[in-house]
Amino acid sequence: MVTTLDKEGIIEVLRSIPDPEIPVINIDELGILRDVILTGDHVEVVITPTYSGCPAMTQIESDIRAKLHEHGIDNIVVRMTYQPAWTTDWMSEEAKEKLRKYGISPPGRMHNAIVPLVVDSVVCPHCGSFQTAVVSEFGSTACKALYQCQDCKEPFDYFKSI
Ligand SMILES: [Zn+2]
């Protein structure tokens, strides 16, 4: 017995860990946290990296260890699983809404109902305009692209859909 917490309790603890790059979203909402397995002598946390080589994963692993340590759990195995590969579809709708409020356009292009012949667009998180253009395929991190709104002129990050 390594802890009095059950699996749900541990998941609840892990939900307090934010994504290092997007502090408004936790690792569960992002879809990184895949499973928690309790064995007789340790707790195994299974995570799937978002983008391969994303430096945030090292940070997330040490955050998991630190957070569980706070709850008296010291025997921790953090296992990375790459199959199936992470997809932005694992991000909850709530998480996408939080991203938008944070000023990042969530993954997935939206169909422009007003001008249906135009290809699906990245929507401006500030004013909701479909008139946006890519400035750079790499924004503040490799996971994001930099866009600018043609209407409100604000630049913003778009969380790339994969
Ligand atoms: Zn705008």
Collapse the DSSP code of 101 into the 3-class scheme (helix H, G, I; strand E, B; otherwise coil) and give the result. Answer: helix
Residue ranges per domain, the chain?
7-86, 92-159
Q: Which residues surround ligand 1, an ion (CB under 5 A)?
A: 124, 126-127, 129, 149, 151-152
Residue 14 pLDDT greater than 90, yes or no: yes
C-alpha atoms less than 13 angstroms from C-alpha of 149 in its C-beta half-sphere: 18
Sign of CA dihedral 17, 22, 28, 32: negative
Distance from the alpha carbon of residue 105 to the mean position of ligand 1, in angstroms: 11
Residue 117: per-residue pLDDT: 54
Distance from the alpha carbon of residue 145 to the mean position of ligand 1, in angstroms: 16
Distance from the alpha carbon of residue 123 to the mean position of ligand 1, in angstroms: 8
For 32-82, the pLDDT digits (tens) are 999 999 998 899 999 998 865 566 788 899 999 999 999 999 999 999 998
Overall pTM > 0.85: no
Is CATH 3.40.50.300 the classification given to domain 7-86? Answer: no
d(C-alpha 160, C-alpha 67), whole Å: 29
